[in-house]
Amino acid sequence: MVSCKLLLSLLALVAVAQAIIRPGYGYGYGGGGGKNHPKTKKPTPAPTPAPTTTPVPVESTTLKMTPACEPGYTLYKRGSGYWCMKVVRGVNVTVSEAAALCTAEQSVLTNYENEAERLAVSAQAQALIIGELGLSAGSIAVAGQRIKQCVSVDSAVISAPPCNDKALVFTVPASANTNPAYLWTTWAVDEPTSNHWISDVEECLQLNIQPSDKERHQLVNDIYCNFKNAPNDPENTLYMNYGALCGQPNTFEASA
């Protein structure tokens, strides 16, 4: 009896162990009568298509660069390009002092290059001298220098070439950016006179403004560089400089 009971107990333990090791057999583990059921796979969703975009054309903008000048300056078209000029006011200044007026404007003492420029510059000078200052005559300093070999008080030198040639006796510095060919055709009557005062010679230039005298109005005259007036005619405002013709390179303005 003991052996039978022991045997039955062992068989029961084996059955329990098998049920634990092999679920799905006996004792209801795994369900469904102890059979394995395959897992159902979920369907893979179709990929979402990327949104369709239509490229937007980009308009290209080309900027147009237009020549321009600093405020107060006027733009002039020349064969060599563009140049900006302005009559800068001074108070009875020497030509040397007039050049300093231009330097203060970041400009240089300059001159006109053609008929249109001469008339435009003269109109500005007249508006200053006659209009603003109320004078009957006056001048502005312009660029130009007597050539060294003609800086003389010797009449023999002055009356001989190249000093007796109106187109050669003076020159215009490169800084003035001016072709002087036309300038030398616009001397006032009987100029340049090549006057001298003691040892000083008329080495510089001025543009005369005197509407009542057509032989001098809007024309150039040689004058002393460091005198505020003509020493042989000190009261005559015609030979006094009330400003300077200043020039500078043009700028550019961008526009679409």
pLDDT at 17: 47
Whole-number pLDDT of residue 25: 42
pLDDT tier at 208, thresholds 50, 70, 90 = very high
Task: Give the Å distances, CA to CA, from 223 to 75, 153, 158, 190, 241.
Answer: 28, 14, 15, 13, 10
The chain-wide mean pLDDT, for the chain, equals 86
Task: Please report which confidence band the pLDDT of residue 54 belongs to, taking 50, 70 and 90 as the band edges.
Answer: confident
pTM, whole model, 2 decimals? 0.75
For the chain, which residues make up each domain, given as ranges?
87-246
pLDDT at 28 over 50: no
Q: What is the rounded distance in angstroms from the CA atom of residue 38 to the CA atom of residue 36? A: 7
> Which CATH number is associated with domain 87-246?
3.10.100.10
Bridge partners (DSSP) of residue 68 are 251
The structure tokens 């006057």 sit at 195
Q: pLDDT per residue over 57-111, tens digit each?
A: 766 678 888 999 999 999 999 988 999 999 999 989 999 999 999 999 999 999 9
Question: What pLDDT, on the 0 to 100 scale, is given for residue 199?
Answer: 73
Contact 230, 223 (CB under 8 A): yes
Cβ pair 116, 123 in contact under 8 A: no
pLDDT at 2 over 50: no
What pLDDT does 128 receive? 98
Residue 254 pLDDT: 87
139-195 confidence digits (pLDDT tens): 999 999 999 999 999 999 999 999 999 999 999 999 999 999 999 999 999 999 988
